[in-house]
Structure 1
Amino acid sequence: MKANWILALVGAAIVTGVVVAVGVLGAYGYYLGPVSRNATDWGSFGAVMSGAFTLLSSFATIGTLLFLYLQQLKGEERQNSQDAENLEKQQKHDVVVEKQLAALTFEQYLNHRKVFIERLNEQSVFFRGDIGFADPDRVYTAMFAKNSPSHCEYKVEIGKPGNVRAYDLTDCLAIYTTISELLENYRDMEKHLTLVQKIVHLQGCLGMTYLGAHKEGDIFFMGLNAGLNIYDISKTLQRIEKVINSILFFTGNEKVASIQHKGQSLLIRDGLYKTLTEYHRAKGGFELRHKIEALPFLFELYEISQFHFIVTERILEETYMTLVGIFSRHDEIENLKNFDYADRLTDIILYEIRGAKEQYEDDPDKMNILNRADYCLWAAMKHLGVVR
């Protein structure tokens, strides 16, 4: 509407200028008569023409300015229209790009989670099905707390121990460090119980579930198999260490210091055994299970055999070495179910105890120890079915 008004004004200015100029010339010719031959008349006529054309020029200038203004308005309208069109196209393009990025992020998230779960399942295969991961999604969510279908990060920063969330990577590493420290304690029974609890807790944080067959010496915590065996503590530590290192690698972090060698110590095994079987606070919540009923008596005999009557000599050296070999390997423990194997074993121990009794028959204190060893042996023989 504004453009139409401007065009009308331009036309009016031009028409007005032309009408005025023609009107002046017409009036001049009408009132002054035919063409004069007088120079003065032509001078006057020139002055009139100058004024008329000056007026016409003024109106033409006004019309030109109005026309240029109109062109500017039309140019601005075209530019605004083009800008609006470009903006709409850009917005549509941005929406498409945003959807593509969202789809790409979602695909990255799915692939990242899939590979993580596959790596966990590889650990299960590596340990021949002894462990499983019942809820790997929970483990992934705990380790990659910031990840979602709309956001995916590949590296996890390890925070300070005091600033952790349950089950996250920092929490797992803090528990792992605590376990490493507790493995260096051989006598404090309360810390032994804490050690078992921490091992169970860390396996839970890592999503590990023990699926292996029950073995002699399995430790149960609150009625559930803790995945920890008194005769092979290092095996559990190896599983934990390998799983946590796999997760650390996947999150872009360095491996942890190895602790499985600490589980091979006879001191930690013997200390933990004593805690689980004798400490009053272990009753009810902790249980050391044996199907071979002779094992508790053989283990007590193993402890007795370590007594020294002479600084450089154990009371029952051969018995000690024999039982160390048995308690170091599960297949040796399983061999106790074999009559011939059990018979040979008890013969070795029986003859050594008899010889020691003959040697120390005049020493009441030493005889008390040997009599206790003799009692444990006969109790074990009874359960093994090799009583003579």
Structure 2
Amino acid sequence: MSFDKKEGRLQTAWVWIGFVVFITGVILFTTYGMSLGPISGEHTAWGSFGSLLAGFFTIAATGATIATLLFLAKQNKDMQKVNQAQLDSMTFERYINHRKLFIEQLKDLEIAHKNAFNFCDPNLLYKTIFPENGPHKCEFSVESKFDANGDYENLISEIYFRFEELVERFNVSQFNKGDGDLLARCLINFHDRVLMVEPVGAKRNGDIEFNSVPYFINIFSIEEFVRAAVKISNHILRFTNNNEVDGSRIFANSKFVRYAMMDDYFRPVDNQRIEIVTSIFGIKALESIHRHAFRMRDSENEFLLPVTFRTLDNIFSSAELVNGLADDEVLNEVVEDCIEEVGDYLQQMKVDSTNFSMVNKISDKLIALRNR
């Protein structure tokens, strides 16, 4: 029922109360006047008339009381509506400010990481974290929820799940063929499902692409993504009143992790949809030389080509150094450092030596790079 209809019914009730009181008075006084006769000077008659007046005014007072109660009830309902409107307005304002603060802090995270990535859709991320929030409801805390099987049921619980998944993948004692690819898939899931970010700027050699879509993940600097992932995750967890994750549990700068991913993506398996950017001339040849230099050891497990291995290992230790190979002077310097050692060692080797064939192939690759 609308407010106008309720207002009309209340006014009608007041009219009827007044009408009933008036009619009652008319009936009482008319009846009394008709039966009274001449005005009497006796106290008894006037006492009877006083009783009549008292009865009438009691009825009138009752009617007035009822009317007053109806009026107060109306005022109370009106006040409730005003209070509800104020609460709705406060809830709406709180929701707007809460969402605005969240999005502003996401922007601060982008700036803190030198705008290397953007959040694809901050509003979608907010709605995913706070699915119940809206103009009429605004909650500040979100609990992590897992079902009976231990599967996550919201983004908060998924953060914890994905984080533990990364801890497990990074901290294995030994990487086998394909483990680098499995780790990359875990990173991609974290990238897409939790962070909802996209890289900004030109592609870098070593950047991961999945189905030709670039990601803010570089196999030569995996720690960059992991640091950002932990920082963003902890921001979300703090914002929702949850415990933070401990990023130190992930050994993202492990060289063995880097070796595993290099091994998988420089020699990809069939039908592999994850690829890495390798646009710099000679990078694949240098990776091959690095891999073989790492494996060639003497009887005391020392590197046969220590200068070559350490030079290339240093280059492949970060995305910045790898992409520096795009500068011909840098590439030439690396090639010369390696070719000098390889040439000297090759002259000392016998043709029937165990590693002669491999060292000779390394020499050919380096000479080809120098003569490019």
Q: TM-score, normalised by structure 2?
A: 0.82
Q: 2: CA distance between counterparts of 1:334 and 1:198?
A: 25
Q: Could you tell me which residue of structure 2 aligns to residue 303 of structure 1? A: 291
Structure 2 counterpart of 1:93, from 61, 79, 83:
79
Q: 1:237 aligns with which of 226, 234, 252?
A: 226
Corresponding residue of 2:168: 181
Distance 1:214 1:306, change over 3 A: same
* Contact map agreement 2:166 2:250 (CA 8 A) in 1: no
- For residues 79 and 374 of structure 1, what CA distance do their matches in structure 2 show? 110
Deviation of residue 190 (structure 1)? Answer: 4.5
Cα offset, 1:105, TM superposition: 1.2
CA RMSD of aligned residues (A): 3.0
User: Which deviates further from its counterpart, 155-164 or 129-138?
Assistant: 155-164
Q: In the TM superposition, what are the counterparts of 1:91-240 in structure 2 within 5 Å?
A: 91-160=77-146, 162=150, 164-165=152-153, 168-185=155-172, 186-205=174-193, 206-240=195-229
Cα 1:77/1:216, change in 2 over 3 Å: same
- Verify the 8 A CA contact 1:106 1:149 in the aligned structure 2: yes
In structure 2, distance between residues paired with 1:65 and 1:199 = 94
Distance 2:179 2:55 in 1: 92
Moved more, 125-134 or 66-75: 66-75
- From the superposition, tell whether residues 236 and 165 of structure 1 become closer, same or farther in structure 2 (CA, over 3 Å): same
Q: Does 1:83 align with 2:72?
A: no
Give the number of aligned pairs.
345
1:387 aligns with 2:367: no
Could you tell me whether the CA contact under 8 Å between 2:266 and 2:284 is conserved in 1? no
Name the TM-score, length of structure 1 as normaliser.
0.79
- Structure 1 partner of 2:18: none
Identify the residue that residue 329 of structure 1 maps to in structure 2: 318
Residues 292-319 of structure 1: CA distance to partner in whole angstroms, max 9, x if unpaired? 1311111111111122222341121111
Distance 1:302 1:89 in 2: 85
CA distance in 2, matches of 1:311, 1:65: 127
Structure 1 stretches of 5 or more lacking a match?
Answer: 23-52
Partner of 2:340, secondary structure, is: helix
Task: State the one-letter code of the partner of 1:149.
Answer: P
Q: 1:350 aligns with which of 339, 352, 355?
A: 339
Per-residue CA deviation, residues 238-297 of structure 1 (Å, 9 max, x unaligned), is 12112122222222223211058522111111111212233425x441112211131111
2-structure distance, mates of 1:292, 1:207? 29
Name which of structure 1's ranges 199-208 and 335-344 shifts more when overlaid on structure 2.
335-344
| Alpha-carbon distance in structure 2 between the residues aligned to 1:7 and 1:287 | 104
- Could you list the runs of 5+ residues in structure 2 that have no partner in the other structure? 1-22
- How far apart, in 1, do the equivalents of 2:179 and 2:319 lie? 26
Large movers: runs of 4+ above 6 Å: none
- The answer to whether the aligner puts 1:249 opposite 2:235 as a matched pair is no
* CA deviation after TM superposition for structure 1 residue 344, in Å: 3.1
Helix, strand or coil at the partner of 1:364 = coil
Aligned-partner Cα distance in 1 for 2:153–2:94: 25
